[in-house]
Amino acid sequence: MTTDPDRDEREITRVLQQWVLYRDAGDWERFAGVWASDGFMTATWFQGSATDFIEISRTGFENGVRILHFLGGTAVDVDGDRAIAQTKMTISQRASVHDVDVDVVCTGRFYDFFRRDPEGWRVVRRQPIYEKDRMDPVAPDAALTLDRTLLESFPVGYRHLAYLQSQIGYTIHPALPGLVGPEVETLYREGREWLAGSALPGQALAL
């Protein structure tokens, strides 16, 4: 097959943009179309198949959960019908913590394993990398006191996001990739192996 690296990068970048727009808008039918049939997703609050992720996201959206995403620059490595894309991003969520409305913003990267299927480039695995986050009361005069022991029990890259999500009933994964450390080094290795032809896009993380 003759490939066009520039076209591949444009098409992959378009899929990355569609992922964010369709999910945050609740456009579930088109959101399903960005995933490979065997795709899977890992997040602070979810680990499993893309199919299950779509349904759980739909239920949360209908119940008022708002987790929003914003994208920055993207770098894509393509090898034949496989690719790895890294995209700067922020995750933003608003909820009530200890009876105070807060916003959490988490900065990091999406690390995506892509495959060119007959339908085009599709996401086989999405693994966020969590670099840093913060929590702010929505009302500037609100007083908020966090449980320091609970906060520091979560990894530094997503501890405020995890704190918020734990308060609204989610079970949080305790060891997701951050800016540095063995978890992100394992992810990078799995990315290299995927481009080199490994049977699977790394190991799906689970609690």
pLDDT in tens, the chain (207 residues): 557 889 999 999 999 999 999 999 999 999 999 999 999 999 999 999 999 999 999 999 999 999 999 999 999 999 999 999 999 999 999 999 999 999 999 999 999 999 999 999 999 999 999 999 999 999 999 999 999 999 999 999 999 999 999 999 999 999 999 999 999 999 999 999 999 999 999 987 775
Q: Is 76 helix (H, G, I), strand (E, B) or coil?
A: strand
Contact by Cβ (8 Å): 48, 127: no
Q: What is the radius of gyration, based on Cα positions, of the chain?
A: 17
Looking from the CA of 104 toward its CB, the CA atoms found within 13 Å total: 24
Please give the single-letter amino acid code of residue 60: G
Domains contained in the chain, CATH given: 5-195 (3.10.450.50)
Residue-level pLDDT at 3: 72
Residue-level pLDDT at 96: 96
Q: Is 166 helix (H, G, I), strand (E, B) or coil?
A: helix
CB burial of 56-71 (b: ≥16 within 10 Å; e: otherwise) equals bbeebbeeebebebeb
Residue-level pLDDT at 207: 59
> How would DSSP label each residue in 86-137?
EEEEEEEEEEEETTEEEEEEEEEEEEEEEEEETTEEEEEEEEEEEEEEEEEE
Residue-level pLDDT at 206: 72
